[in-house]
Chain A
């Protein structure tokens, strides 16, 4: 019992010394009455006369399973907003996305704690990586009128007003890919392999809907876990049931293992990988020949080397990086937030977080500089699910190893399907 005294008392002293309640008030004299917006310039301001809008980032940056994606996304977003600032900022403000960058380790509780830490100091979230992590803060975001750009493509975000998603969901990607392969030459059996839940489960749900729509048989959804040696059940299922198409909702390593080993054991059908399955490093892996022969990529937008103004601007802003679609995604996800901030500051909205949420929900189009069609940013309709996606194939010559074979298209399944809730919820 005695440790109470020193142990806790010391902690108490340290804590009392470290912070004081109510000391985190903003300047207050600003024309804008929202946390995270100041009249003082940003710390490393491009435009010294501008005020500063702080945006938070909660990503997977060191030891979590998606750190290989979180790093590039975060870096691309820093470059994106740097470019915005160099163009003069938005409505008299520079945007700072580097002061509040936090590492969630892909853990929902950590994510929620970090959100509580930075929420009083930021206007919105430039990135909230992961679905379970974002779900852990979603209720708070709603009650505090915080908007955020996600770093995941689960179909749930289409139904959340505070999440500023870009591009199609895993569910839609899978539908469009199956429609595409059906056009290319007949699909009779479809299988899905993936991590359960928000990602693999979402893609599998889309695959099942599409299979039904084209009259093919949906054989099975094999749930699998991360790890090279955890794929034996999935590989066995592919080899023994030999479906025409296998939709993959796993990570890049698992993709290499499943495609490589299934091909080694004689499978000759087609694999469709959802966006996070691909990584250019796969071309150096042992599975490269199998991937080149059997793999089709279904993505929400064109790969790193695609020729649009947005892609070109990104490549210019990130001259020295190894091409990777983490950068592409971080860059593309930033456009709606930029459009929302512009609309909020220029338009007739209350200059509060509530006003920003209102501005977001009245966005009719977003200028993605060609990375995505403008209507992808339409958030006014009751059913603003974006149903166009891009199909790519493996091309060792392309910067990130993928070239587009079918540009933005909404297949018949996705166009006809009525989305009433997240696909993975069934």
Chain B
């Protein structure tokens, strides 16, 4: 704390390492500081820059419907980053993410809702995104802290199923609390994405941007912010203590890490992410129904973290985009699946009354793709990346 000036005045080994770095073997760390840096190798820096650049230019080449799906996937990625903090980094598997997303969604919807006391649902008329977004995160984090004492007592599958119970109890409350949520089957409008008086959901007045493009940019920027924060948490003292708890909680305790405090912190941080993602997820359709916060949503987020693999930020985002875009992908490929049996081409019927029909094939494919992916690549997208990277790193001696 008190030594930054001294550090600057002396030629530190850090500067040394940076200036004298060799080219050619880019992925090797040459100092401890480098290993801990935000982007610890130059190919990583370049790669991230390229991806971000491409992401910012996509709205100019893709149709609105695809942008919409991508924007939804980005929000799901924020939720998955949150789950990654508690599951990937801290090793506590939580199936309760949908519950925290629900808390966030309704906090935001209530804050930004119509403040007319006669209105069907509660509202406070605070439409600015910089008010309701942090508020949604904070309220969800508060619930995370409340739940944590139960959660810190349990481990493994017990914890998973208890957090699942949270989802069922939460869904019940959401369905019954009609003043807040509009009730099951009726729902209410979600938070309004208003930034300094400008509603991002309505198209730009001069027609420069459609609402889908604007929402895409919003979600992209927010995803980058949350991803950067997650990466910074992971490489901080807190993140390292999470990893220690994951690897062996008793050993971590021996090293002086306060287990309940660390786990509570992990739950709070993860719930904060979930709350923000929940608040954002429904702004795209401007409609939120209490039945949305169910087991399926939780499982989807868990699948994102697992398919991404290995608890890295990039892997989680890639997993979220994969799972988020999978239904679209499946819808595109299902019609082209056909079998040839004894010279006869069999296609799936488009009539829903016939078995098997194309809509069933879509669902089956969705299930099977997840199974096949994990079967052949249990380490997820990260596993694929590691193999590719190793291949090139050790080239020409790769095997």
A3:B382 contact, CB within 8 angstroms: yes
Asked, given contacts A59-B352, A136-B289, whether A108 binds B317 with beta carbons under 8 Å apart, the answer is: no
List of B residues within 8 angstroms of A11 by Cβ? 318, 321-322, 325
The answer to whether the Cβ of B48 comes within 8 Å of any Cβ in the partner chain is yes
Determine if B21 is an interface residue (Cβ-Cβ < 8 Å).
Answer: no
Residue pair A113, B72 in contact (C-beta under 8 Å): yes
| 8 Å CB contact of A9 from B50, B184, B231, B350 | B50
The reply to whether B51 and A108 form a contact with Cβ atoms under 8 Å apart is no
Q: Are A108 and B292 in contact (CB under 8 A)?
A: yes
Whether B66 and A8, one on each chain, are in contact in the complex, defined by CB atoms closer than 8 angstroms, is: no
A interface residues, tally (CB under 8 Å): 60
Contact of B318 (CB < 8 Å), options: A3, A135, A424: A3
The residue on A at minimum CB distance from B381 is A7
Contacts of A132 in B (CB 8 A): 185-187, 287, 289, 291
Number of residue pairs across A and B with beta carbons under 8 Å? 186
B64, B186, B289: the one within 8 Å of A116 (CB): B64
Q: Are A2 and B62 closer than 8 Å at their CB atoms?
A: no
| B287-A135 in contact (CB<8A) | yes
Q: Which of A66-74, A356-364, A370-378, A398-406 contacts B (4 or more CB under 8 A)?
A: A66-74
Query: Given A1-B48, A24-B63, A196-B175, A109–B362 Cβ distance below 8 Å?
Result: no
Report if B1 contacts A (CB, 8 A).
no
Q: Which residue of B lies closest to A424 (CB)?
A: B186
CB of A20 closer than 8 Å to a CB of B: yes
Q: Is the CB of A4 within 8 A of B321?
A: no
- The stretch of B107-115, B236-244, B266-274, B308-316 that contacts the partner chain: B308-316
B-side contacts of A63, CB under 8 Å:
363
Task: Tell me the minimal C-beta distance from A297 to chain B in angstroms.
Answer: 21
Task: Given A19-B63, A21-B61, A135-B187, verify A12-B55 contact (CB < 8 Å).
Answer: yes
A residues near B212, Cβ cutoff 8 Å: 116
* B155 close to A (CB within 8 Å): no
**Cβ-based interface call for B286 (8 A):** yes
| Chain B interface category by residue count | 35 or more
Segment of A197-205, A231-239, A333-341 engaged in the interface with chain B = A197-205
Q: Taking the complex as formed, is A380 at the interface, i.e. its CB lies under 8 A from any CB of chain B?
A: no
Cβ–Cβ < 8 Å partners of A137 in chain B: 285
Stretch at the interface among B159-167, B256-264, B369-377, B383-391: B383-391
A214 to nearest B CB, angstroms?
27
Residues from chain A with a CB closer than 8 A to the CB of B308 are 3
* Cα-based distance from A16 to B58 in the complex (angstroms): 8
Partner pick for B62 among A16, A61, A424, CB 8 A cutoff:
A16
Residue A39 CB within 8 A of the other chain: no
Known: A1-B44, A120-B65. A199 touches B55 (CB 8 A): no
Set B39, B61, B318: member contacting A8, Cβ < 8 A: B318
Return the chain B residue nearest A63 by Cβ. Answer: B363
Q: Find the B residue at minimum CB distance from A202.
A: B185
A15 and B384 contact, Cβ closer than 8 Å, known pairs A98-B350, A103-B359, A197-B185: no
Query: Smallest distance from the beta carbon of B269 to chain A beta carbons, Å?
Result: 19
Contact between chains at B352 and A75 (CB < 8 Å): yes
Is A6 among interface residues, defined by CB-CB distance under 8 A? yes
Q: Which of B43, B65, B332, B362 contacts A103 (CB 8 A)?
A: B362
Partner of A7, one of B50, B54, B55, B318: B318
The reply on A131 being an interface residue by CB < 8 A is yes
* Chain A contacts for B72, CB-based, 8 A: 109, 113
Q: Does B60 contact A (CB under 8 A)?
A: yes
* A19 closest partner in B (C-beta): B63
Q: Which of B291-326 contact A (CB under 8 A)?
A: 291-292, 308, 312-315, 317-318, 321-322, 325
Contacts A/B (CB < 8 Å), 30 sampled = A1-B48, A1-B314, A2-B314, A3-B315, A3-B385, A5-B47, A7-B321, A7-B381, A9-B51, A11-B322, A18-B332, A19-B66, A21-B63, A22-B63, A63-B363, A67-B352, A103-B362, A108-B285, A109-B285, A112-B285, A113-B68, A113-B72, A113-B327, A117-B65, A131-B186, A132-B289, A132-B291, A136-B187, A139-B286, A195-B184
